Structure 1
Amino acid sequence: MSEAETSEVPVEAANIPASRSWIERLWSSIADRGRAFAPVVGASLPLDRAKELADSLLTERGEASGAAVARDLMTALRGLDPSSRAAFHRHLAENYGPRHDKLREAAEIYLADPTAENAARLGHCAEPPRQELLRRMNMSPGGTAALVEMRRQVLGAMRHDPSLSPLERDLHHLFTSWFNRGFLQLRRIDWQTPAAVLEKLIEYEAVHEIAGWHDLRRRLAADRRCFGFFHPALPHEPLIFVEVALVQGLASAVQPLLAAEGEAGAEARAEAADTAIFYSISNCQDGLRGISFGNFLIKQVVEDLKAELPQLVRFSTLSPIPGFRRWLDRRMETDDAAAELALPLSDPDWATDVLKSEALRPALMRLCAQYLTDPGPGARMDPVARFHLGNGARLERINWLGNTAPRGMTESHGLMVNYLYDREEIERNHEAFARGGVVVRSGAVDALLAPPPKGSKAAKRLAKAAS
C-alpha cells in the first residue's frame, strides 16, 4: 500500500486479525476440554496421521473429544504439502462411501414394502459416511472456512482428476444446506465497516477493478451503496456483494459511474436520484461456486433501498455481456451478413473512429439483441443474461459503447445492458423465463431485432467502412 493510500485507510489497521466468531470460541473451548478424552493417534507421517485422525473422527462418539479430534485433523491438514493434501482429498473421495451390502438390503426391503419407514432407512443407507465426516470436521474452529477452501482446491483439481467428484458432490450438497438463505445476513458496507472487510472488496471485485483505498472510498460515498451477504461462520468474509449507484434515469455507460467525482455533492445527488443502478455483483468464494446467493441479494437490496429512499422509482443493472464477442466471432465464420463486420472490427481503433463506429452500430446492436434473446441452436445463453432474466428482470436496453475499458471491448465490443427489476413484475417475469424460457424484453429491444431493409443507409455505411 502506498503512502498516499494509507491516509485513506479506515481507522482500524487493515492487518489486524479479525476476531473469531462466538461459535468458533465455543467449539475451541469444547475442544480444549475434550483433548483429555480424545484417542491417541500413533502415525508419524503427516499424511498417515491425517488419515488416521479422519477415521478416528468418524467413529468418535463424544462431543468434546470429537471437537478435539476435529481440531487436530484440521491442524494436520494445514501442515500438509500440496501433494499430500491432494492425496488426502483422493482418500476422502475414494473411501467413506455407502456400504453396498447395507444399501442393497435396504433397497430390497423398500421395494418389497414401500413404507415411509423403509424409505427413511434406504435414505440413511444411501448417505455416504463421508458426509458425516465432513460435518464433524466442521466442528473444528474455522472448520467452515477450511471446508470451503477444500472445495475450491477440489474444483480446480477435478479438471485432471475426475475421481474427486464424489467428494465435490458431498461438499456441494452440504453447502446448499449450510449456506441456506435463512442463515445469511445482509449487511450494508460503508466506510465505517471494519478494514478487514473493506480489504476483501478490493480483493474480490470481479467486474470493475477497485484501484486502491481512494477508489473504494468513492464507491462508498453518499450517492453509492454496497451490500453483502455474510454467514455467521464466516463473519468477516463476504460471500457476495453488490455495488449500487444512485442516479437520475437509466445509466448507459459505466465509466461515469466509476469516475472519481469526490464526496462533494454526493448527498445532494443521492437525494435527487430516482434510479438505483446495480453496476457490479461479485461472488467472493470460489469454494462456493454453484451455491446461488445473487437472486436473494438483489431482491432484498431492492426492497431495502425502496424503504430507505422512497423517491426511487427504477431499479436496474448496468451489466456486461461476457459471451457476446465469442458468439459473434463464431457467427461471422458462418453467416455472410455478419461476416461483413469482420474487416471493420479488425481495426483496434474502430470505436474512436466516428465513421466506422456509426457504420458498425446498427448491425452490432441487432446481433447483440439476437444473442441475448435467441442465440441459436447449440449456443449457450449469456451467463449474466441468464442470471438476471432468471431472477425476474426485464431486458430493457442495450447500450452502445457502455464500457470502453479494455475488458469491455474484449468481451462485448463495448456493449452493455440494462436489466430492469420492476418490483410488480419480478415474479411474473421469473415464471415466464423458468417455465418457458421467455425473455421478457422492452419495445426498444424488439425494435433492434428487426432486420434492416436491403440498400438501407446503415448497410451502405457498413460497406463503406469495410472498404
Structure 2
Amino acid sequence: MNRSGFFYDLLSTLFERPNLARVKGDGRSITELCEALIASSSEGAAHNMGQQILSRFSELTPEAEVAFFDYLTEQMDIDTEKLQALTTAYQADRTPENFAGLLEAAEPKRQELLRRINRVPGATGELVKMRSRLLKRLRDNPSFGRTDVDFQHLFGSWFNRGFLVPRRIHWQSPANILEKIIRYEAVHAIDDWDDLRRRVEPADRRCYAFFHPAMPDDPLIFVEVALVKGVPNSVQSILAENREILSPESADTAVFYSISNCQAGLRGVSFGNSLIKQVVEDLQAEVKSITTFVTLSPIPGFNSWLQRRLAEQPEASETAEALDLAVETGELGTLEEQPQWLRRQAALYLIEEKGRSGMPLDPVARFHLNNGAMVHDVHAGADLSVNGVRQSCGLMVNYLYDLRKIAQFHEKFAEDHTVFASREVRTLADAAATHSNGRKTKNG
C-alpha cells in the first residue's frame, strides 16, 4: 500500500467530518440541557442535547449569555466540601479507588460538560467561538476566569501539536481558505485578491498554516515568508507590487514577515513556535541555499512606552508633541528626521525594558525571544503604513533564528529572561540609556 496515499485518505476522512447540525429544541432551557447532558448515559440523547446547547448558546442575548457563563462558573464549580473529605480519605489510605475519587472531585463539572458537548460533530469550532465570547466578558466579570481556566486546559490538550496539520497555502488553495487568509491577516492588511496573489503565488513567496482536523476549513495560525538575498530592512520592499521575483535557488534568507493567529477563542494556546520550526524544516529540505532565518516584526508596544518615557522629560516636549501627532494621524511628520534616535529608543525598549514579571514589555519580543531568537537589528522607516506609524513610528525589528543557538537562547530566556542581541543593537540601546534628544539625562 502506498503510505502517502493512505495518509492522504486518512486526513481526507478527518477533513470530511460533517459540520454542526441544527436540531429542533425540546423546550428545556440551556441550563436544564446542561444538567441533563451531565447526567445522561445515552449516547444518542447526549448527542441531541449537545447540539441543542450549542444552538441555544448561539442565540443568547447579551444578558442571557452572562447568566449562562455565571451558571458554568458557580453551579458547575468544584464541590470543595466533597474534595476536602476525599483528600482526607486519600491521605489516610492511598488506594487506587480513593485516588480516582479524589481526581474526579478535583475537576469542575464544566470540564466534563465541555467534553461531552465536543463529541458532537462540528462542535470543536463552536466551543472555540464560545470561549471567544467568554473572553469578552472577563473584564466586567473576573470570576468567569475560573471557567476560562477550564477552556484553556481542555484546548491545550485538544489543540496540541500532535493533532495539528501543516499545510502550505497556494494560489490554487480552496477559495474559502484564501478568503480567510485575507480576513485573518493581522499584521499587514491584504488589500484585495491581487495583493494576496502576490504573497502566495510567486516562487519566492510562501504561506504556511496549521489546521485542526475538527476545523478543516479554518486556519488556526499562518505565517507569510519571503525568500530574499540578505536581511531586509523594510516591509515595503517585500510587499512592493513591481518587485523583481527571485528564483528560490538565488535566495539565502527566509524572512517571516507576518504571523497571524486566526482564532480569538484559542488565545493563550501556543502554535507559533511549532509553526516556525515546521516551516524552517520544510524550507531547509526544499531550498538548500537558505542559510539565514529571520523575522521582520512589528513593535506594537513601542509608541505607548515612548510616550510615557518622553512625558518624564520636560526638555523633550517638542518630540513628545511630534510623537502624539504621529499616533493620532498615522504620519511621521518631523519624527522622520530622527531615524537614528528612534532606533536607539526602540533598541532600549526591546532589550532593557521589562514588566513586573521580568519579561520584556513587548509581546512580539516575548514570543520570539522565548522561541530562542535574538534581536538582530532595528530599522527606521520599515513600515510606513498608518498602523505601522501609529504603533511604532514605522520601526520594525529583525529577530534572528540562529539554528546553532536556538536551544541555548531559549533556555537562558526561560531561566532568567536573558535577552540576546547583536552588538549593533546593544550599542544603540547603550546610547539611548545615556542620551535623549541629544541631551544627557537621568533616564536617557
Q: Deviations over 1:353-398 (max 9, x none)?
A: 6xx645x233322221111111157595210001000000111001
Match for residue 249 of structure 1? 230
Match for residue 273 of structure 1? 251
Q: Which moved more, 1:160-169 or 1:114-123?
A: 114-123
* % identity of equivalent residues: 45
3-state DSSP of counterpart to 2:90: helix
3-state DSSP of counterpart to 1:104: helix
3-state DSSP of counterpart to 2:431: coil
Return the match for 1:307 from 276, 279, 285. 285
**4+ residue segments displaced more than 6 Å:** 452-456
Return the match for 1:95 from 62, 69, 75. 75
The alpha carbon displacement at 1:91 in A equals 1.8
Q: Deviations over 1:395-435 (max 9, x none)?
A: 10011211111111111111110001111111111011111
3-state DSSP of counterpart to 1:362: helix
Does the Cα contact within 8 Å between 2:229 and 2:251 map onto a contact in 1?
A: yes
Match for residue 312 of structure 2? 334
3-state DSSP of counterpart to 1:148: helix
3-state DSSP of counterpart to 2:56: helix
Does the Cα contact within 8 Å between 1:254 and 1:402 map onto a contact in 2?
A: yes
Does 2:41 correspond to 1:86? no
- Spell out the pairing of 1:153-168 with structure 2 (5 A cutoff): 153-168=133-148
Does the Cα contact within 8 Å between 2:78 and 2:105 map onto a contact in 1?
A: yes
3-state DSSP of counterpart to 1:316: strand
Return the match for 2:275 from 294, 297, 311. 297
Does 2:401 correspond to 1:418? no
Does 2:222 correspond to 1:203? no
Return the match for 1:237 from 194, 215, 218. 218
CA distance in 1, matches of 2:323, 2:108: 54
Q: Pairwise CA RMSD of aligned residues?
A: 3.0
CA distance in 1, matches of 2:190, 2:141: 35
Return the match for 2:55 from 58, 61, 75. 75
Match for residue 9 of structure 2? none
Match for residue 65 of structure 1? 45
**Structure 2: segments with no counterpart, 5+ residues:** 1-12
Does the Cα contact within 8 Å between 1:247 and 1:269 map onto a contact in 2?
A: no
CA distance in 1, matches of 2:74, 2:233: 52
Amino acid at match of 1:370: L
Return the match for 2:350 from 352, 355, 372. 372
Aligned length: 423
- TM-score normalised according to structure 2 size: 0.87
Q: Deviations over 1:3-42 (max 9, x none)?
A: xxxxxxxxxxxxxxxx9944447x97xx99xx9xxxxx86
Q: Deviations over 1:157-210 (max 9, x none)?
A: 111122322221211111011011110111100111111111101110000000
The alpha carbon displacement at 1:338 in A equals 5.8
CA distance in 2, matches of 1:189, 1:350: 34
Q: Deviations over 1:82-129 (max 9, x none)?
A: 433332222222212222332111111233345676444322211011
CA distance in 1, matches of 2:214, 2:435: 64
Does the Cα contact within 8 Å between 2:225 and 2:254 map onto a contact in 1?
A: yes
Return the match for 2:302 from 312, 319, 324. 324
Q: Which moved more, 1:91-100 or 1:343-352?
A: 343-352
Does 2:387 correspond to 1:407? yes
CA distance in 2, matches of 1:455, 1:278: 33
Structure of greater Rg:
1
3-state DSSP of counterpart to 1:278: strand
Match for residue 10 of structure 2? none
Q: Deviations over 1:233-275 (max 9, x none)?
A: 000100000000111100100011111137xx63x43331111
Amino acid at match of 1:135: R
CA distance in 2, matches of 1:99, 1:449: 53
Does 2:341 correspond to 1:363? yes
Match for residue 32 of structure 2? 52
CA distance in 1, matches of 2:238, 2:200: 12
Q: Which moved more, 1:368-377 or 1:115-124?
A: 115-124
3-state DSSP of counterpart to 1:280: strand
Match for residue 459 of structure 1? 438
Compared CA separation, residues 100 and 452, structure 1 to 2 (3 A): closer
- TM-score normalised according to structure 1 size: 0.83
Match for residue 8 of structure 2? none
3-state DSSP of counterpart to 2:105: helix
Does the Cα contact within 8 Å between 1:227 and 1:241 map onto a contact in 2?
A: yes
3-state DSSP of counterpart to 2:222: strand
Compared CA separation, residues 101 and 441, structure 1 to 2 (3 A): same
Amino acid at match of 1:417: V
Compared CA separation, residues 331 and 352, structure 1 to 2 (3 A): closer
CA distance in 2, matches of 1:455, 1:95: 58
Compared CA separation, residues 100 and 224, structure 1 to 2 (3 A): same
**Structure 1: segments with no counterpart, 5+ residues:** 1-18, 36-40, 463-467
